[in-house]
Structure 1
Amino acid sequence: MGDLYRSHSRTGLGVTPFDDARRAVVIEEPRLPAPWINYLSNGELHAFVSQAGGGCLWWRSPLSFRLTRYRQQNLPLDSPGFYVYLREPRGTIWSPTLRPCPTAVDERRSEHRPGISRFLARRGELAVELTLFIAPDEHALVWDIGLRNAGAADRALDVFAYAEFGMFDWQQDTDWEYYVRHNLNVWFDPGAQAVVYLYHHHYHPKILEAPLAWLAATAPVKSFCGDRDVFIGNYGDEGRPSGIRQNDLGNAEIACGEPCAALHTPVRVPAGGAVRCAYFLGVTPAALPGWPAALERMRGTVAALRQPGRVDELRAGVERWWTEHLAAFHADLPDADCARMINVWNPVQCVHTARYSRSFSSQASGVRGMGFRDTCQDLLAIAYRKPDWAERTLLYLLSQQGPDGRTVHECFPGESRPPSPGLHIDDPLWLPMLAHAVLAETGDAALLERRVPWLGPDGRPTADGATVWEHLNAVVLFMESHLGEHGLPLILDGDWNDSIRKLASPARGESVFAAQQYVYVLRLLERMARGRTGTDAERYAALRAKQERAILACAWDGAWWRRGFDRHGEPIGSAACRYGQIWINAQSWAVIGGVGSRAQHERAMQSAFDLLNTDFGLKKLHPSFRSWPEEADPYSGYSPGCGENGAIFCHANTWAIVAEALLGNAERAWRYYRQLVPHLALQKAGLQRYQAEPYAYVSNIVGPENPKFGWANVTQVTGTAAWMDVAATQYLLGVRPELHGLRIAPCLPAAWTSVTVRRRFRGCRLEIAIRKPRGPAAGVRRMELDGEDLKVEDGALVPATALAGRSRARVAVEME
């Protein structure tokens, strides 16, 4: 067991100390205004758990195989979860987690680490530690429990574990539960000494893949329960269940009703000593075909999990995975707050968004599939750590594209359902960005020759297909066939800003933002085409020049870039507008896309700072649109300062950071970055107002035109994570992969004099030591690779050819 009284460096709030040496956030007061969750996963079995013990477990998809229930937004907050109860001989019941028992304890602490959560509590002379993680090699959530007795006499205890099962298919559980609860069995299997749950509703779309779920223990089982109503009791609750109060779970098995799994295991903790026990909440896939083969497989899995030392081996495997993943990039910085996010918590969150898109969290209900634009962006932050993962996802996303270049807006790789048909102008544009990110990391141009099926009109892959390069060419075909009267891309159903569709119609309404992105994408395609035969590079260059001319002819408003044109041809995002006069994305993407002059870039970004910046970041637009009841036909139902109507949209802030870094405005770029470091934002707003996790980015923060200014929303599953990672590693620190090598273009604060970055690149472990004089830096003056000078006249690039055959190398960078 760990030390319950370990000391930590604090953030000043007393609730969010970080133990950076152990990559841990330690929550010393778990009674928070909102759940702060951690994701646990082995890639197929997934869970999230809060600092209070609430959480949910699912296999593959939270839509089709949600194993346990979790009730977002309902009271009691953050329930149910993965609950352990300790019953003392005189009947006192308490838990290592804040939920579910109301019994007071003398000490309590929660701790989240990558892939592992730990809960510690002490009541009198008895301390308990619960550690949760998902086994990397088995489909099981491990509940590792340690008990320590500081007293002079042995302590007898009854330990209980409890989880509430659901009906797997979330929609059926929500809409038809009162019918489908008659399609299940829960029983105790003597061979495995486990509670077993078999769900067999014939209308489940993937019933033959549905797993067998089970709960087993390492200690001998005294009693069990598979019926939630029996376990809880009439009008009871999870705080003091009837079965635990009676110290006998009743051994209830059911063939219909409300399923659960509860186990009762007595233990004795010796005086001055400690004991360990464990529970395993797991699944065995494909329960029904060939029954009872799944039951035999389950028994084998449980037996293997019970082997001495196995729990420790599995936990070590989780830690190894995360250590390897985080080692792909590490920066030694003079700013501990920034270093913590860049090295640990931001890349941790990027794994979660790559796995879950925008689907499931303590706030998000899990009904969404894989957002097309979302996943393209999420994998940008995976490409340089796990390029194989990014490549697999890219190939899948390409299979969701039609021959005319259009893509789906949302797809469901884990479900038997068609993709969402929405037509958003920006969806295809993210494909070349992800393809370029993968190619820049691997250097494997053969990827472009891989064949991928098209998506047919019926939502299924066609028998024929095309190369990756032909798929990317189709993006250009789509864009060129969807230009409006100003020569700019049509808005269609949205252009990343979904609400902007209100101002457009299918044939009218144009996006300057999408036009700037299109210019950027054409430049990427032009670079990728340079190494290929044919005239694609020249064609893309010509199309890029045409699009730039179209933007310059209509989009400059005098002090910033317009956002677009509405269905009547009137400007959106102009000083002449009543609301929404300036929008952040059109200013940042002009710089990223290289559209316009340096003077225009500087003027537009200064306007963004003057009109959009707050203590918590840049607003999405200004001023906010009024909504009902003030306006009879408002732009949006969002209240002013909320969501896409004037909130601090953190995702959009990342592009402003990139833009300021590209302009060389280091102080402002890092100011924007630090404004959104989550625990710094929490400190400024205060815990009760900000509410969200101090270690994970959010989608948006309510803006100053709203009384709830500073409230952080849509936590964890947000595109902010990937783009903040890209902004920090590739633009602020400036270590950016390109097709022919690694670009070194740091944009560092004046007060910094040195930074060291360790990064894997194409099989070589690089140590990049960056030195600069105190004060503003003008760029890279000199660069060496293992003591030999590299040319920097055309930009500081470490050529991939120079790294060939090296497993380790040192790059020395001097800035001027």
Structure 2
Amino acid sequence: MKNKTKYGYFDEHANEYVIIRPDTPTPWVNHLGETERFSGVISNTAGGYTYHLDAANKRITRFRYAAIPEDRPGRYIYLKDVNTGEYWSTTWQPVVNWKKDFKYQCRHGWGYTKISYEYKGIASENTYFSPIEKDFELWRIKVKNTSGKKRTLKLFQYNEWAIWNMIKDQYNAQSIANEARSKYDPETRTFYHYPYADPAVSMAESKFYPWVAFFTCSEKPKSICFRRDKFIGPYRDESNPIALEKGKCDSFYAGGGYHVAATQYDLALRPGEERTFFFALGSYDAMGDEQAHVAPLLNNAAFENELLILKKFYADFVGVFGCETPDEGMDVFLNGWHQYNLRMDFYKKVNYGYTNWGGGGFGYRDRAQKATALASVAPEMSRYALDVLIPLQYNSGDVPHSYSPLLGAKANDGNFSDVPLWLVYAATAYIKETGDVAIFDKQYPFFEGGSASLYDHLRMTCDWEWSRRGPHGLPIIGVADWNDAINLNGKGETQMVACQFVLACNQIAEIAGLLNKPEDSKKYRSMADEMKQCVNDHCWDGEWYIRAFAIDGEPVGSHKNTYGKIFLNAQNWAVIAGIAEGERLEKCLQSMRKLLFIKCGLKKCTPAYPAYDEKIGPVGSMVAGLKENGAVFNHAHAWGVIATAIAGKGDWAMEYYRSALPYYQNPDVSQIEPYTFCQTYASDEHPEYGLGRLHWHTGSIPWTYIGSTQYILGIKPEYNGLLIDPCIPKKWKGYKVRRISRGITYNIEVKNPSGKNKGVRQLIVDGREVQGNTVPFDADKKEVAVKAIM
């Protein structure tokens, strides 16, 4: 048991976060489904929804945004005592019990959730997960009589269908009223929901698909219900359905309206007796296609076996990296929870959530950054991302801003100045991790036709960027750069992308050297040097770097500005790209610490903007201290950790890492799950200082992983081996890391007898001292012992 609060604790032996009271500050959720094909979101009280392939366009079950409570509806089971007429929920919600005369526990594990509830002598246990490589989720409901006397109960199950297109499902009531279709097959005990799907935004784009969702029961119900109005009743909600009061479901059927799959069962339990029910929810191409996959699993032996397979799958997935350090929070995250977050962030749709509208697809830049981190955890996932991302590139070298696995990408969806460059970092990370240099010659198509080698695709990103420069020689911002809230009317210049360009060009120059292309290496090194000079000539403000130039040439992020005087990313990326050196390096890091560092991390900018400024962009439309307008934006904060570690300031780097780590947040303040990251924390410029927003899907997940494993612990893959380059607090005496790379297990021990922040003075590999601090790759070995002395 670690990090116990009034809401829960980490069970490190079971690899679960245990929630011990249902009234968490916000719904604390988990994900079901190990890939992007089938996905479920489930809260600690079984709220949430399910989707297939695309969160916006193929919703299976409904989710109501801005609802009270936030996570309605969900995967609900009700129990009713026939003798007393009292009923309750086996997951506390939706029939909320504030009397506290119950026992409750929720265990969120990797890919599954188990909720236990005991009330009035009846114990229940709901377990939910999606089996590996299946397009459905399984529910197991156990009900046990612990009262010492015979009990007569009714069990109700409730599931509310969505009408596929999430936007239509939220506001187009006439579509729901006229399009919903359901049927029930008594032979297989299966509900089918099959309204025609229309993913289009406008009528001109409409195209209808005959998709099918299903809900299967292991036992024949006593009564069933198809319609929400018949189950819930007028002027009621999920907390007091009319079906519960009547004691049975109304089986009336008519097409249209709000459809549900609801069932009712009778239970007569002797003292100590237990009944078990199984359900499955998912989507297949046609009615009946699911039965061969689902029916064999609706029993306890098969259910337990599939759950064990799932647990082993995740244990193997997270097991590529493990550590023993002096920091408990770092150990808990890097021994599994961070890798689990990486997988969920990669496969689950960026805009899936409780707190935004649900865009359904992936952002190109987002997927590339996740692939960069995943290269050292699951290279096959990184390669999968590259194989999807590269063919989306336009012939110009630009790339689309986003795409959907269901609907694909669109033409002319680019002109975000930063987005193409992330492809270079992702490809570089993958090849350094795997040694798969041959992929540089692999031919990939372009979105608009034709093809080129991966190497040429990467070169074209920098060539496109180079062709779009402004008066100071910096890249034109276009629609926006990484910070979507600063767009400078599309024609200003961005220092951040200039820094990113320098890093990308230097990486391509290094690749050209590996491929024996000296002219290319010289060309891209020269381009990097010229851009570096432009940044240093035009963007140094005396104590820090300017963030951008507006269309009229006025600086953004300068001491001359009243608001937004300093921006974090202008400093981070100047260091990461190797642009800031010597005195400027020290000054910009000191300015970061003095002006931007607060108790929950590094602020994105300060002072926050009080109002919208058309010349700069939407940043001022946000409340001061929130999101892009002066909050701790954890994505940018993670780059701050990396920049600080590059500069050798190990005490600061670790302090920054801990300041934003979910493990160390006060849950009553942040309100975010202790086991996952969030996008932002409200800063000291906002009354709710420390409040977290937008959980699970944030660029802080990949970059905090890179920062902690490759820059603080310093285990970093390079083309020629594994670099050991830690940057740690002086008080650390050492740490251990187990790292699998290229099929080789590295058992690494770092000792710090002299209390250093950075620098390895001796490296011993399998008992022999080697020069430098890189462990050469040796394909003949399966295990390598490494000792590094700082």
Q: Which interval holds the TM-score relative to the shorter structure?
A: over 0.9
1:232-631 aligned within 5 A: 232-283=232-283, 285-287=284-286, 294-295=287-288, 297-307=289-299, 309-415=301-407, 418=410, 421-456=413-448, 462=449, 464-501=450-487, 503-506=488-491, 509-534=492-517, 535-627=519-611
- 1:376-424 C-alpha deviation (Å, 9 max, x unpaired): 1122221112212211211221122112211111222312663672411
Q: Does 1:95 align with 2:89?
A: yes
Q: Distance in 1 between matches of 2:526 and 2:733?
A: 42
* Match of residue 775, structure 2, among 788, 798, 810: 798
Q: Which residue of 2 aligns with 1:745?
A: 725
Q: Which residue of 1 aligns with 2:784?
A: 809
Q: Which residue of 2 aligns with 1:707?
A: 687
Letter in 2 for 1:479: E
Task: Give the stretch that moved more between structures: 728-737 or 33-42.
Answer: 33-42
- 1:665-686 C-alpha deviation (Å, 9 max, x unpaired): 11100000000011312x2xx6
| 8 Å CA contact retained: 1:214, 1:281 | yes
- How far off its partner does 1:504 sit? 4.4
Say if 1:184 and 1:638 are closer, same or farther in 2 by CA, change over 3 A: closer
Q: Which residue of 1 aligns with 2:631?
A: 647
Q: Which residue of 1 aligns with 2:29?
A: 37
> Tell me, what secondary structure is at the counterpart of 1:31?
coil
1:191-206 aligned within 5 A: 191-200=187-196
> Tell me, what secondary structure is at the counterpart of 1:636?
helix
| 8 Å CA contact retained: 1:192, 1:302 | no
> Tell me, what secondary structure is at the counterpart of 1:230?
helix
- 1:180-233 C-alpha deviation (Å, 9 max, x unpaired): 543343222122012222223578789786542222222332111111111111
| 8 Å CA contact retained: 1:412, 1:418 | no
Task: Give the stretch that moved more between structures: 86-95 or 434-443.
Answer: 86-95
Q: Which residue of 1 aligns with 2:116?
A: 120
Q: Does 1:57 align with 2:50?
A: yes
> Tell me, what secondary structure is at the counterpart of 2:762?
strand
The Cα RMSD (Å) is 2.2
Q: Distance in 1 between matches of 2:383 and 2:618?
A: 42
Q: Which residue of 1 aligns with 2:215?
A: 215
Q: Distance in 1 between matches of 2:264 and 2:279?
A: 11
| 8 Å CA contact retained: 2:398, 2:414 | no
Say if 1:209 and 1:146 are closer, same or farther in 2 by CA, change over 3 A: same
Q: Distance in 1 between matches of 2:530 and 2:475?
A: 12
- How far off its partner does 1:286 sit? 1.7
- How far off its partner does 1:634 sit? 8.2
Task: Give the stretch that moved more between structures: 176-185 or 219-228.
Answer: 176-185
* Match of residue 741, structure 2, among 744, 756, 761: 761
> Tell me, what secondary structure is at the counterpart of 1:309?
helix
Say if 1:393 and 1:717 are closer, same or farther in 2 by CA, change over 3 A: same
- 1:586-624 C-alpha deviation (Å, 9 max, x unpaired): 111111111132221111101110011111111111111
Q: Distance in 2 between matches of 1:112 and 1:195?
A: 28
Give 5+ residue unaligned stretches, structure 1.
1-7, 288-293, 457-461
> Tell me, what secondary structure is at the counterpart of 1:784?
strand
Letter in 2 for 1:797: T
Say if 1:476 and 1:142 are closer, same or farther in 2 by CA, change over 3 A: same
Q: Distance in 1 between matches of 2:299 and 2:77?
A: 22
Letter in 2 for 1:573: G
Q: Does 1:27 align with 2:19?
A: yes
- How far off its partner does 1:432 sit? 0.3
Q: Which residue of 1 aligns with 2:142?
A: 146
Letter in 1 for 2:787: A
| 8 Å CA contact retained: 2:197, 2:208 | no
| 8 Å CA contact retained: 1:411, 1:419 | no
> Tell me, what secondary structure is at the counterpart of 1:323?
helix
Give 5+ residue unaligned stretches, structure 2.
none
Say if 1:532 and 1:382 are closer, same or farther in 2 by CA, change over 3 A: same
Q: Distance in 2 between matches of 1:675 and 1:701?
A: 11
Letter in 2 for 1:488: L
Say if 1:157 and 1:645 are closer, same or farther in 2 by CA, change over 3 A: same
Q: Which residue of 1 aligns with 2:59?
A: 66
Say if 1:256 and 1:626 are closer, same or farther in 2 by CA, change over 3 A: closer
- How far off its partner does 1:515 sit? 1.1
Q: Distance in 2 between matches of 1:201 and 1:541?
A: 51
Task: Give the stretch that moved more between structures: 604-613 or 219-228.
Answer: 219-228
Q: Distance in 2 between matches of 1:707 and 1:203?
A: 40
- How far off its partner does 1:496 sit? 0.7
Task: Give the stretch that moved more between structures: 374-383 or 407-416.
Answer: 407-416
- 1:149-175 C-alpha deviation (Å, 9 max, x unpaired): 333334332222111001012233234
Say if 1:806 and 1:177 are closer, same or farther in 2 by CA, change over 3 A: farther
Q: Distance in 2 between matches of 1:160 and 1:359?
A: 32
Q: Which residue of 2 aligns with 1:132?
A: 128
| 8 Å CA contact retained: 2:681, 2:691 | yes
Q: Does 1:785 align with 2:765?
A: yes
- How far off its partner does 1:267 sit? 3.2
Q: Does 1:638 align with 2:622?
A: yes
| 8 Å CA contact retained: 1:655, 1:723 | yes
> Tell me, what secondary structure is at the counterpart of 1:395?
helix
Task: Give the stretch that moved more between structures: 299-308 or 575-584.
Answer: 299-308
> Tell me, what secondary structure is at the counterpart of 2:178?
coil
Q: Which residue of 1 aligns with 2:78?
A: 85
> Tell me, what secondary structure is at the counterpart of 1:38?
strand
Q: Distance in 2 between matches of 1:10 and 1:373?
A: 34
- How far off its partner does 1:790 sit? 1.8
- How far off its partner does 1:300 sit? 2.8
Q: Does 1:717 align with 2:697?
A: yes
Q: Distance in 1 between matches of 2:645 and 2:3?
A: 31
Say if 1:695 and 1:311 are closer, same or farther in 2 by CA, change over 3 A: same
Q: Which residue of 1 aligns with 2:711?
A: 731
Q: Distance in 2 between matches of 1:524 and 1:139?
A: 40
| 8 Å CA contact retained: 1:745, 1:780 | yes
Say if 1:180 and 1:516 are closer, same or farther in 2 by CA, change over 3 A: same
Say if 1:202 and 1:430 are closer, same or farther in 2 by CA, change over 3 A: closer
TM-score normalized by the length of structure 1: 0.92
> Tell me, what secondary structure is at the counterpart of 1:100?
coil
The number of equivalent residue pairs is 781
Letter in 1 for 2:296: A
Letter in 2 for 1:529: A
Say if 1:248 and 1:320 are closer, same or farther in 2 by CA, change over 3 A: same
- 1:340-399 C-alpha deviation (Å, 9 max, x unpaired): 122222222211221135211121221252111111112222111221221121122112
Q: Distance in 2 between matches of 1:637 and 1:450?
A: 45
| 8 Å CA contact retained: 1:187, 1:254 | no
> Tell me, what secondary structure is at the counterpart of 2:761?
strand
Letter in 2 for 1:715: H
Say if 1:189 and 1:441 are closer, same or farther in 2 by CA, change over 3 A: same
- 1:76-98 C-alpha deviation (Å, 9 max, x unpaired): 33100110111122222111212
Letter in 1 for 2:165: D
Say if 1:226 and 1:592 are closer, same or farther in 2 by CA, change over 3 A: same
Letter in 1 for 2:774: L
| 8 Å CA contact retained: 2:489, 2:617 | no
Q: Distance in 2 between matches of 1:18 and 1:303?
A: 35
| 8 Å CA contact retained: 1:195, 1:225 | no
> Tell me, what secondary structure is at the counterpart of 1:602?
helix
